[in-house]
Amino acid sequence: MNTDDKDTPGTSGPRGLRQGLTNYGDQGFSLFLRKALIKGAGYTDDALDRPVIGIVNSGSSYNPCHGNMPALLEAVKRGILFAGGLPMDFPTISIHEVFSSPTSMYLRNLMSMDTEEMIRAQPMDAVVLIGGCDKTVPAQLMGAASAGIPAIQLITGSMLTGAHRGERVGACTDCRRHWGRFRADEIDVDEIGSINNQLVASVGTCSVMGTASTMACIAEALGMTVPGGASPPAVTADRMRVAEMTGTRAVAMARERLTIDKILTPEAFENAMRVLLAIGGSTNGVVHLAAIAGRAGMEIDMAALDQMSRETPVLLNLKPSGEHYMEDFHKAGGMATLLRILKPLLRLEAMTVTGRTLGEEIEHAGPEFKQDVVKSLDNPIYPQGGIAVLHGNVAPGGAIIKQSAANESLMEHEGRAVVFENSGDLMNRVDTEDLDVQPDDVLVLKNIGPKGAPGMPEAGYIPIPKKLARLGVKDMVRISDGRMSGTAFGTIVLHVTPEAAVGGPLAYIQNGDRIRLSVKSREISVLISNEELENRRQHKPIIEPKADRGYRKLFLESVLQADKGVDFDFLRAVNISTKTPPSK
């Protein structure tokens, strides 16, 4: 048995099982002991001399979005073995959107830390990141960006759609639409129960352009998946083939030393931002891109993002901005179709995990074909990008609105504030008959930001008060320092920065204040003087939330605001030296 610590030919630094040896004070003994123990699992010397490919296993019984994980693991391993590598899967925590309290976002940074440290701690020449549910893909990309080794993302894939009384339905835009009907007494308990049985027809992520689908598309736009990796549904043969190709490509990346920093470049982030805007993607995509960029030593230029939005129309006809579902997008050619149409606006020189540039991959994808899911640049779903960036005295650090899913008649609006101090106050009062609220009022919810909740939950989708819902009111202007699901719709201002819990101006808005929203002017303002705002600040000191112990203590002491991705301050790159998109 060879126990020396020589390098693999053509590479720099130890490879395979020789890297990251446990410290016993004797490197030779460390390798000897490592090989002895792993051989207890039946491995031969030949197997142990191959490139080691780690596979992040984020499966969990609590995570139906990852319900196809066993099949994906086997397909990835098959691809790795075909290419001459040694597959080694290992677990990390798994976060599901609706099974995480108080919110999945609260645990995203913890999963990123788990991912990073397990990559660092265990010997591997490359890593396959398998995730799909909302916060898992960003957590994995954040952790891998910090770890720095060759990495490739495998998306678990979307669920299939179901049907209710002849109507096609899928999670979770249709969840919200039908729940709104139930709240308005338009349908009864029996029908909402029947709908509940049909919304999710298989394992996999939400079938609309929610956060999971958005992050799948963003991962491919960043160059972090094999071509076509974003769109195949979870339970299809296409998804299994993507998994096998991912394993095969991971071995090549290990041999080529194609590290993640060569993929996550400023140009790659610009492409991801273009795609986010063109797909009518989730507002959560902005937060997650900011966090991933921060790990890579970059900062998202929000002013540039807004300018890009003015020149990048929504092309993808998927709910909630359109009418189709992810399986339709896949049949229409998936990201290859979108990127081909979006090509004039992309940075084609950006490198991808294939070792080819994005431009080369678009050419390699072949010719276009007739389809009606992805529209042309001159016939878009919406004339501007899905997301607009707002400023004003309510949000000096910025706020965002998903304009493609908003009510056009409300995007230039002035109304009276109806204020809820926190989520508990909202739950206690929003449906009371004596709530002083009118259809043209503006609902304001405070203290659901990164620290206020904590974890910045998706409570920004403030429900229409029942007394108004029964009258047929479907939308109102709503403002908060929280987030909303990418599956949601409405004229909703989110990510108000700074948040109320740290003394942002939102904390001082009172019932009856007049609030102006102008998406055209990119403004969100409360119509009071600076003097009045300062007077309220002086008379209402803010005590920031704290905790005595555990992860909550770490979270509250370290979490950053929405514009910095709600990451922990100590996890961002030491030097944030570049703004993205870069100047051309």
What is the average per-residue pLDDT within 57-61?
97
Containing domain of residue 488, as a range? Answer: 387-564
Residue 357 to residues 128, 150, 218, 334, 363, Cα–Cα distance (Å): 20, 16, 16, 18, 10
Q: Are residues 329 and 433 located together in one domain of the fold?
A: no
Mean pLDDT (whole number) for 58-72 = 97
pLDDT at 10 > cutoff 50: no
Q: pLDDT higher for 25 or 136?
A: 136
**Tens of pLDDT along 425-434?**
999 999 999 9
Cβ 265 vs Cβ 293: under 8 Å: no
Statement to judge: residues 459 and 488 lie in one domain:
yes
My answer on whether 216 and 86 are in the same domain is yes
Question: CB-based burial of residue 1 (10 Å sphere; 0-12 exposed, 13-18 middle, 19+ buried)?
Answer: exposed
Does any domain span residue 294?
A: no
Each residue's pLDDT tens digit, 483-536 = 999 888 999 999 999 999 999 999 999 999 999 999 999 999 999 999 999 999
Question: Is 571 among the domain residues?
Answer: no
* Residue 259 sits in the same domain as residue 220: yes
pLDDT digits (tens, 9 = 90+) for 353-373: 999 999 999 999 989 999 999
Query: What's the pLDDT at 4?
Result: 38
Rounded to the nearest angstrom, the gap between the alpha carbon of residue 155 and the centroid of all alpha carbons in its chain is 12
Same domain for 275 and 151: yes
Under 8 Å between Cβ of 189 and 470: no
Q: In percent, how much of the chain has pLDDT > 70?
A: 98
pLDDT at 189: 96
Measured from the Cβ of residue 427, the count of other Cβ atoms closer than 10 Å reads: 12
pLDDT for position 340:
97
* 543 burial via Cβ count (<10 Å: 0-12, 13-18, 19+): exposed
pLDDT at residue number 104 = 95
Predicted confidence band of residue 578 (pLDDT cuts 50, 70, 90): confident
- Give the pLDDT confidence score for residue 310 in this predicted structure: 95
Across the range 541-546, mean pLDDT stands at: 94
Quote the CA–CA distance of 388 and 309 in Å, as a whole number.
Answer: 7
Indicate if 479 and 338 belong to the same structural domain.
no
Which of 1-10, 23-32, 81-90, 317-326 has the weakest average pLDDT? 1-10
Please state the three-class secondary structure of 211-275 as a single string: HHHHHHHHHHHCCCCCCCCCCCCCCCHHHHHHHHHHHHHHHHHHHHCCCHHHCCCHHHHHHHHHH
Residues 6+ apart with CB under 8 A from 40: none
d(CA 426, CA 446): 10
Average pLDDT of the residues in 115-143: 97
The mean pLDDT of the chain is: 95
* Alpha helices in 296-333, H assignment, sequence order: 302-311, 326-331
Please report which confidence band the pLDDT of residue 6 belongs to, taking 50, 70 and 90 as the band edges. Answer: very low
What's phi and psi for 78, nearest 5 deg?
Answer: -60, -45
CATH of the domain at 240: 3.40.50.2300
Domain tally for the chain? 4
**Judgement on whether residues 115 and 152 belong to the same structural domain of the protein:** yes
pLDDT for res 428? 97
The predicted pLDDT at position 583 comes to: 63
Whether the per-residue pLDDT at 331 is higher than 60: the answer is yes
C-alpha angle 53-57-60 in degrees, rounded to nearest 5: 175
154 and 220 within one domain: yes
Count CB-CB contacts under 10 A for residue 471: 11
Q: Is residue 289 part of a domain?
A: no
